[in-house]
Amino acid sequence: MFLSVRPIPTTSMFRRPPNPAILILGAVILLLLVRQWVSPPIWLRTSTGTAIADARIGIGHPLRQCIYNSTLGFEKIFVVSLPSRTDRRDGMTLAAALSNVDFEFIDGVDGSSIPDNALPQTSAHDRPSHPTVGAWRGHMNAIQEVVKRNLSSALILEDDVDWDVRLRNQLQDFAVSANALAQPLANAAGSLEYADTTYPNPSDKSPNSLPDLAFDRLPATTAPLDSPYGDEWDVLWLGHCGMHFPFANDVQDGICSLGYAVTRRSARKLLHEVGLRRVNTAFDIMLRWFCEGAGDPNRGYHNCLTTQPSLFQIHLAAGPKKYNSDISDHGVGDQEEKTEVLRWSVKMNTEALMGGRTDFVDQYPNVD
């Protein structure tokens, strides 16, 4: 039952099953796909988005302009990072500086330092592995910081992520689509109506499919009051390493918590449901359960939006594969530098950006 926003000319979004017990990520396929694979290099713009965005939602609106600030329209950006991985901290610091992005590090945790009694409802015999526990705790520390500071929103990234040089333009397109999905229609005569007629409370009688929405012909919606990405979202899952398009009566599997945003409300819920209740698997799986309303104990679903492909991807530095992760085994031997999916990677174009050049390494050049 996932509503589709269809970029020009062909790609469509994935749909959400009608059963509210498995209502999960409201995913967005953006004009970003066309921009990523087809358009000529356009470096970071500071004041304008796409022509469509200008026409549909008013780029001059202060909330829209926030996407082009140093925190990408969120109140804060946090990067979860082990203090010992100074290489990744150096890489993130340089990439952020070249992208005019401001962030704070949140120290990652060695899972072996966390005692059993700090893991809620988890006994010693079913304790997850030390790396899994450490990764969970690092993310919970970032979410705890959102709650402690009473932030309106925050983007949380892992320290090995990369992004395209056109990130702000892509986020602008994401905001257009997110508002089309989750903001009330502007001319609904006082009632709350949405382009997705089954949103926000689908039922067993809801249709399994809905017509696609063309990105250049989106319906007018009410302007958001709190965030350029809309008022009712709980999680924006902007960085993942695997997300399939869900089929009818199927759930969508989100893998990897490379980058995601939370609100004040959802951070409090995550601290309660993922931090203070049973911890029995990896954080990204628990984040998926949070969105789906699944897992043990059962949780109500939450309003989560994602995009395929994701905007934040894992950057693999040149060198031994074994250094790719502090959690899992990535094999033996050496590798060349790469960031999959991204066309004009910031980290792979560091020298060009420092030199003010636009002759970027193009991983997916146009094919006639």
pLDDT-based confidence at residue 255 (cuts at 50, 70, 90): confident
pLDDT-based confidence at residue 16 (cuts at 50, 70, 90): very low
Of 330 and 73, which is predicted with more confidence? Answer: 73
Rounded CA gap, 75 and 103, in Å?
Answer: 10
Average pLDDT of the chain to the nearest whole number: 79
Residue 19 exposed, middle or buried by CB count within 10 Å (0-12, 13-18, 19+): middle
User: Is residue 122 within 8 Å of residue 278, measured between CB atoms?
Assistant: yes
Rounded CA gap, 245 and 15, in Å?
Answer: 7
User: Is residue 138 within 8 Å of residue 108, measured between CB atoms?
Assistant: yes
User: Is residue 266 within 8 Å of residue 153, measured between CB atoms?
Assistant: no
**Which pTM value belongs to this model?**
0.82
Question: If we measure between CA atoms, which residue out of 307, 239, 193, 201 comes closest to residue 80?
Answer: 239
Domain boundaries of the chain, sorted by first residue = 4-307
pLDDT-based confidence at residue 310 (cuts at 50, 70, 90): very high
